[in-house]
Amino acid sequence: MKKIAVFTLLICNLACSASSEKESFNTKYTDQELGQLLVIGFKGTEINTESPIVQNLKKYNIGGVILTDIDDATGATGRNIVDANQLLKLSSALVAYSQNPPIIAIDQEGGNVSRLKQEYGFPPTKSAEYLGRIDNPDSTLYYARSIAQEFMVVGVNTNFAPVVDVNLNPDNPDIGALERSFSSNPNKVVEHAGYVLDEFDKEGILSVIKHFPGQGSATNATYKGIPDITNTWQRNELQPFKELIENRTIHAVMAGHLYNANIDSMWPATLSENTIQDLLRDSIGFKGVVFSEDMQEEAILESYGLETAIEQALNAGVDILLFRNLVEYDEDIAEKAITIMQKGIAEGRINETRVDSALARVGRLKKEVIEDLCTCLTF
């Protein structure tokens, strides 16, 4: 009986050991190549060689990181941002530990969505709604310039802004209620978003306009489920994206977790080929990088699961998968995502042509925008 128990324990240990090892798949991509398609959130205001995010940068060559000031799970401040001196040191360390110039991103829209807050010693900001309401070009330029110049000071190279959603529902809990939209008039959205882009372009900072194809009409927040905009969305919500893409050099767009059955009866925008490939790329003509919204949103994981969501997003035309790592923190999310990508490619569920295109676009973005800013931090 004792021998059987020992034998059973041995088999169990062997099985557990085998399952803990990363699966290996036969594809033409290395883990380090696929890592460039990931932007990951992490905990910590300073890093060293033992930090999990540094291991992700070294082992998996992840494309970049997203920083924030508040930990959503605990509500505590100081997750990544304390003050300007600390943030510059963190940005410099991230560059130093990276194999390729990393995307270092935050959401600094102004007003309610600001990670560089006045209470941490950063300049004051105004919400998009305030700036659109007073409709003074000099004011929008002033506050945008202040943010862009602060990015240069602290070594952050990417802003997930401006929001170009049209404020069709002022009570929208994600947009209107937080004063994140410039206006209910798409012409005013285009105008003021243009001022913001001007100032960030002058400093060479990457701006990511969002949330395609437009979230301004939604009636529920994303944390309460994927917003269904089928009956509220209007065609003029595409106008800001279309005009900005046609008339400027827009390097990046963020797709929203938004369901519109009139565009795609099965998938929300982030996972929808109809939305990203057909509408954004083919119809509007966008040639740049598409970021997903947070792939760890509860509504996405509950509806589709991580594996399906990653596979579908890449097949839809998303180039960079964003994992904010806020609500459910997962130190292994980079490894999990890369394993899912390798498996999906090996088993034919992820289109290699889409992966090739994503890698090429991300590579161009790094060379055209990110590389110079990271070089400035190498000292």
Domain assignment of residue 23, yes or no: no
pLDDT of residue 204: 95
Cis previous bond, 213, omega within 30: yes
Residue 240 lies in a domain: yes
The pLDDT of residue 374 is 78
Q: Is 359 exposed, middle or buried (0-12, 13-18, 19+ CB in 10 A)?
A: middle
User: Does residue 13 lie in a domain region?
Assistant: no
- Per residue in 82-100, is it b (16+ CB within 10 Å) or e — as a string? bebebbeebbbbbbebbeb
- Between strands 252-255 and 206-212, the pairing is parallel
Closest to 162 measured CA to CA, from 208, 200, 126, 214: 208
Query: Which residue's entry shows tokens 């505590």?
Result: 76
In sequence order, which residues have a C-beta less than 8 Å from that of residue 187 and are 6 or more positions away? 239
Copy the structure tokens of residue 152.
């240069």
Residue 221 lies in a domain: yes
Q: Phi/psi of residue 65, each to 5°? A: -135, 160
Tell me the torsion sign for CA atoms 144, 146, 149, 155. negative
Structural domain includes residue 111: yes
This prediction has a pTM of 0.92
- The pLDDT assigned to 76 comes to 87
pLDDT at residue number 220: 87
Q: Which of 187, 193, 235, 231 is nearest to 214 (CA)?
A: 235
The three-state secondary structure class of 54 is helix
Strands (E), 250-311: 252-255, 289-294
Q: How many domains does the chain have?
A: 1
| pLDDT tens track for 281-310 | 999 999 999 999 999 999 999 999 999 999
Q: Is residue 5 in a domain? A: no
SS3 call for 280 = helix
Residue 21 lies in a domain: no
User: pLDDT value at position 2?
Assistant: 37
Any domain includes 20 = no
Where in the sequence is the domain holding 313, given as residue range(s)? 40-375
* Full pLDDT tens readout for the chain, 379 residues: 333 333 333 334 434 433 345 677 889 999 999 999 999 999 999 999 999 999 999 999 999 999 999 988 788 899 999 999 999 999 999 999 999 999 999 999 999 999 999 999 999 999 999 999 999 999 999 999 999 999 999 999 999 999 999 999 999 999 999 999 999 999 999 999 999 999 999 999 999 999 999 999 999 887 778 999 999 999 999 999 999 999 999 999 999 999 999 999 999 999 999 999 999 999 999 999 999 999 999 999 999 999 999 999 999 999 999 999 998 899 999 999 999 999 999 999 999 999 999 999 999 999 999 998 777 665 4
Domain containing 116 — which CATH number? 3.20.20.300
> Could you tell me which of 291, 328, 332 has the C-alpha nearest to residue 39?
291
